[in-house]
Amino acid sequence: MKKWLIATKNKGKAKDFKLLFEKHGIEVISLLDLEEPIEDVEETGMTFEENATLKAETISKKLAMPVLADDSGLEIDFLDGRPGVYSARYAGEDKNDHNNLHKVLTEMKRAPDEKRTARFVCVLAVARPGKETITKRGICEGTITREPIGTNGFGYDPIFQPNGMTKTMAELSPSEKNNISHRGNALDKLENWVKGQ
Ligand SMILES: O=c1nc[nH]c2c1ncn2[C@H]1C[C@H](O)[C@@H](COP(=O)(O)OP(=O)(O)OP(=O)(O)O)O1
Ligand SMILES: [Mg+2]
């Protein structure tokens, strides 16, 4: 079976990718599966594209192999696009999902129902030695709930209700999430490239 390295240390993303790549007959491993620990790549970019490229190219250079990286986050209109590229570190550098989503809920307390629109954004970058890096962006539109609901998924899933659904992302099964998610959507756009692997 083909094997792909995803330059992530996020267990939730790694799980999403495992299922997403299964149907292409590709096995995925993440940085958490490597025997030698790899230093965190500093996410100094101002955009998802910059950060995804930074992660993919840094790890691809270090290991001299093709690498896929994902930079993603939640953009909330009422908060002028925050947390955006700072989604992972919104409530502090320790990257705590629980604290991050409660910070968002607190900031959204005053937002009326019609002003709770938001979107998940995912940019995937493929870096290969000696070749130009490819990036693709996927989005999933929805609204921010008033409390966390559901226990599946990770990150902001419990407070995000995708458009056209009465459930939060954290109430969907992993495959239901992948069908509509920003990550699934971005990977669809890489389809031709994935097929060529
Ligand atoms: O499907 C998702 N469902 C819920 N939350 C999500 C999702 N996708 C991204 N998110 C949130 C989690 C984290 O707060 C941030 C990603 O930040 P981001 O820097 O890309 O990832 P990360 O630091 O957790 O792992 P890494 O950089 O090693 O891939 O957006
Ligand atoms: Mg990160």
DSSP secondary structure, 2-41, as one string: EEEEE----HHHHHHHHHHHHTTTEEEEEGGG-SS--PPP
Residues bordering ligand 2, an ion, CB closer than 5 Å = 88
Beta-ladder partners of 75: 83, 119
Q: At what angle do helices 182-189 and 11-22 cross, to 10 degrees?
A: 50
Active site residue ranges:
71
Binding residues for Mg(2+): 42, 71
| Ligand 1 mutation pick, 68, 72, 124, max ligand atoms within 8 A of CB | 72
Closest atom of ligand 1 relative to the 10 alpha carbon: 25
Q: Between 3.40.50.2300, 3.90.950.10, 3.40.50.300, 3.30.420.80, what CATH number should domain 2-195 receive?
A: 3.90.950.10
Alpha carbon nearest to ligand 1 atom 12, residue:
155
Domain boundaries, the chain: 2-195
Q: pLDDT at position 195, please?
A: 72
> What is the C-alpha separation between 28 and 94, in angstroms, rounded?
26
pLDDT given at position 192: 77
Q: Running along the chain, 197 residues long, what does each successive block of 10 average in pLDDT? A: 92 97 93 94 97 98 96 98 98 96 98 98 97 97 98 98 98 98 97 75
As for ligand 1, residues whose beta carbon falls within 6 Å of it are: 8-10, 13, 43, 70-73, 87-88, 100, 120, 153-157, 169, 181, 183
> In the Cβ-directed half-sphere of 76, how many Cα atoms lie within 13 Å?
25
**Which pLDDT belongs to residue 31?**
97
